[in-house]
Every structure is written in C-alpha cells, then in structure tokens.
Amino acid sequence: MNDAQPHAEAVAVSHGKIVAIGHAAEILALKGADTKVVDFGDKVVFPGFVDPHMHSSFSGLRPWLDIGPFSVPDMDSARQKLRDAASKLSGDQWLQAKMVDPSIMPGEPFTLSDLDSIAPNVPLFILESNGHVAYVNSLALARAKVTKDTPDPPQARFMRDASGALTGRLEEAPSFYPFLAVMPQPTAADLVGYFRADLQDAVAKGCTLVHDCGIGAAFGEKDLALIDAVMKTNPPLRYAGYLVSTHYDAWEKLGLRPGERTSRFTLNGIKAWADGSNQAQTGYQREPYLGSTGRGALNYQPSEIEAVVRKAHMAGWQVGIHANGDAAIDVAIDAFAQGTSGEGGHQLRHRIEHSSILHDEQIVRMKELGLSPSFLIGHVHFWGRAFQDRILGPERAKRVDPCRSALDKGLRISLHSDFNVTPIDPLRCVENAVVRDMKEGGGVLAPEQCITPMEALRAVTIDAAWQCHMDHVCGSLEVGKAADMVVLEKDPTVVPAEQIHAIKVMETWIDGQAGYTA
C-alpha cells in the first residue's frame, strides 16, 4: 500500500518498526547474530487490516441471546429461540436478546402482545442489530416504570399506537436508558473479558487496528475506563476512537485532548449522530420510504449538530457524523461547511459515517470541504435486496454505498463493519465492495459502483488508517512504520472476486510480534 514501492519480497524489523523493505537478498544481508528469520513461503503479506468503524459498547452484549439473521433464518425461529430461553428463567432475571432485524428476516415484526406471550414471566429486552431500535414486553415496561403517560426522552421515542398505547418498540438510545438502569449489568471484570474476546476475534480476521465510533455511548466515562483497562495490559491490537458528543462537557472536565493515551490507544475525535438506521426506517430521507409517508427523523436539530462540529473542531478534534439517509447527509455536510468555516480548511479529516444514500452532488460538496465517507459496505450484501424491493425502491437503492462514484470524484473511502451490526471481517468487506452481490435472492446491486480488489484493500488498510489519523503509524508497509502485518493464504488481487472472503488469515503480526496464528 506504498505507491512508491507497491511490491517487495522481504521486510526487516527492529524494535517493532520496519527498518528496511525490498528484495530478499538485500534484506537478508542485514541479518545479525540474533536476527530471527521468518519465511512465509508462498503466502502473501499485507499491511494489517483496519476496521475504521466499530463499537466497544456492544461488548457487553456478548452473552446476550443472538436471534439475528446470522444465527436464525426468520422471525418465527427467533420467537421460538426466545420462548425456549424464557422458559428457563424466573424471578429477577431478565431475558436479553440481540441482533434481530425484521427488515431482512422473513415474518411478522414483534408486537407488545407477541412479546408478552413469548416471555410471560420475565422482563424482555431485545436490541435490533442496527442499535437504534429495541423491543420490550409489559414486564420490562413495568420494571422501568415507563407508562403511556411517560414523555419521550429527548431525541428518542417510546412508540405508541393511534390510541396512545405503548407498542413495546423503542427508537434511539435515550429510550433504552430507563431499561438499562434496572437491568442486571455485567461486572467490570466480565466486561474486560468480553472486550478482550471481541478484540481477539478482530485479530483473527487480520485486524491490527480498530476504530471505536462511540466511546461513552453506553455508560459514559465507564466506557473509557473499560478500554483503558484493556489497552494498558498487553492489548492484542491498536485501538483508536471517537468520544460521543453527548458527553462532551464530561470529556472536557476530564481534560481529554486528541492524542495517545498509551502506545496502542489513541483518542482522535468526537462522534455525533444526525439520524438513525435506514433498514429500521429511522434514517432521515429526502423522500418517503417505499410505501410510506414517513421520511425518518433527525436525532438533533441542524443547529445542534453544527454547534458540536464548531466546538470540537476548534478544540482540535476530528469529527465523525453518523448520517444514513440522504437528507441527514445534507444536514451533516451543511454542519461541516458552517461549523468549520474560517478555520484554515479541513486538516482534521472530518468524516461522514456510513454515508449510506449518497448522491453525486453530495460527493462533490464533500470533496470541496475535505470530507470523506466511511461505508458500512455490508448494507449492500446483507440488506441490498431489502433496500431495493421493500425499503427504498430500485432507483434510490442504486445510491447505497456508491464506492465507484466516490473514488472517481477524488474522495478517499474506507469500508467498515459497524460491529456488531455486521461481524468484523475486512476480507468480507473487500469482497462486498468488489462484487456487490445481494445475499437475499442473488443479483448485483448497482454493478456500476463495483471497485477493484486493490481499491477495496486500500479502503481497509492505508486509506482507513488515514481516515483514523493513524497512517503515520500503520496502514502500509514502509520504513519507519510499525511492523503490523497480516499473512494471507492467497492473494486477494488474484483469486476470483467471489472467493476473497474465503481466503484464510494465517497470521496477524503487530509491532513485529505474532499476535495470531491459525
């Protein structure tokens, strides 16, 4: 991923840094008496992969019941899995479940009476895979003391039917908090274990850097303390991240500033949210969703988003704004244009996270403002058919994650998992961007937006590291950078594109030390 030296045969490493790279004979001539020589044979070495958008706040969900599309085929199967689990619980126990997604799981969505029959004796809390919608039964509502007369929290909704009765559906994170407050919570030691396990899973997929796009979203300062605890004790990879804008005053009181906290943990930005999820139909659209009069909603007023941008930018923080719908992207671009004006240009590599429904004129504005998109490319593979046939319609669906258009107009892009919306798996992300196949029903979504394997690989290595302000450390194999490498069984630029995701990760190295071996 170094344009000046795109290929090499060998690399020399000293004290975790790359000191030379080139022909094998040249590099072996540097060998000293204590040098360890590692021969990868016919395997292929790339810079370690980067996932530029994931969430540590999901680590606490690791033991929750998985009823999502990667584990069960449909909504009826999810219901049965819930019933089986509920039958084994009693008393003060809660049934906590995750990953359900009615937009791509055949069957009827949950209703309150439905949830009450599934778990009649225990409170139930279910989080959709997108993290923006949850469901609760009547026992959970009672435990949280949420009634039909309870006002909606700011920027969130306890959903009601036409008569004003609660439906059991919750939209946006502030509506979850009354339930989280009365649910049993994992211990600090449990959370450390879950978090380390998530990071180790990422290392096994070839990641040497992951970027958290929401530190503080679950438990404020406690989220940061959890990451600190793990990253201070032999962490398995590098970690960088955004602090949530909703706790900005608390971060200021703690004296936090952009930069390293440890050699492998860096704080680099502030995360804001413009809207919700397109598959949950809470993303804010220019036009109504297919077969609906609803356009989704903004989570904050444009002036509030602009104020966050201005304050963070002036303090030297990079800003990432979550924006899924095209109207939300309009608001995000405007916020950057107004919130950073007169400040010497965009040297902070501000980002629009997901940028899911992105039009050409928006790409042009982003280029003018120095903004870049990070695409949740799994939207194409896992939700492409749903967007095309049931949520957006075929024309708008062509604008989902338009990687080709963005690259052709000069933007640097990255590809991410949004873990745990989709699993951390950079090679799967690469294949999704190259092939753009739809898992449901087959076919290709907007083939004109396909990119090459090398372009997609850049989007999970050097360009992703650049977006995270970490390209001085990693993202390419160059002299002076960390010896962060992934060893692949086969070359993803050579195998048939449909086989990229199946390439085996043989080893992952960080700072010149093997962190994972298959």
- pTM to 2 decimal places: 0.92
CA dist., res. 462 & res. 331, Å (int):
28
Count of domains forming the chain: 2
- Do 252 and 210 sit in the same domain of this protein? yes
Within this chain, do residues 329 and 223 fall inside the same structural domain, yes or no? yes
Same domain, yes or no: 284 and 221: yes
162, 235: one domain: no
One domain, residues 73 and 105: yes
* One domain for residues 88 and 222: no
Instruction: Examine the fold and report which residue of 471, 488, 511 is the final residue of a domain before the chain moves on.
Output: 471
Question: Does 270 share its domain with 389?
Answer: yes
Tell which of 131, 153, 180 closes a domain.
180
9 found inside a domain: no
Question: 46 in a domain, yes or no?
Answer: no
Contacts of 91 (CB under 8 A, 6+ apart): none
Answer whether residue 95 is part of any domain. yes
What pLDDT score does 155 carry? 85
209 and 133, same structural domain? no
State which residues form the domain around 164. 64-180
Please give the pLDDT value at position 57: 85
- In the prediction, which pLDDT does 346 show? 54
Tell me the Ramachandran region of residue 411: left when phi exceeds 0, alpha when psi lies from -120 to 50, beta otherwise.
beta
Whether residues 203 and 158 share a domain: the answer is no
Nearest-5° angle of CA 41, CA 197, CA 414?
A: 65
- The SS3 call for residue 492 is coil
CATH value at residue 72: 3.10.310.70
Q: Which of 456, 471, 486 is the last residue of a domain?
A: 471
Residue 394 lies inside a defined structural domain of this protein:
yes
State the distance between the two ends of the chain, measured CA to CA, in whole angstroms: 24
286 and 166 belong to one structural domain: no
Summarize pLDDT for 313-344 with one digit per residue, the tens. 999 999 999 999 999 999 999 999 999 986 65
Does residue 43 form part of some domain?
no
CATH of the domain at 441: 3.20.20.140
CA distances from 478 to 38, 254, 462 (A): 18, 36, 11
In 268-325, where does DSSP find H-type helix?
302-314
Residue 91 lies in a domain: yes
Statement to judge: residues 251 and 386 lie in one domain: yes
Q: Is residue 371 part of a domain?
A: yes
85 and 211 together in one domain: no
Spans in the chain with pLDDT lower than 50: 345
Long-range contacts from 464-467, C-beta under 8 angstroms, 24+ separation? 464/50, 464/51, 464/52, 464/209, 464/211, 464/374, 464/414, 464/415, 464/416, 465/50, 465/209, 466/349, 466/412, 467/52, 467/349, 467/351, 467/372, 467/374, 467/412, 467/414
The answer as to whether 510 is a domain residue is no
Question: What span, in angstroms and rounded, lies between the C-alpha atoms of 283 and 298?
Answer: 8
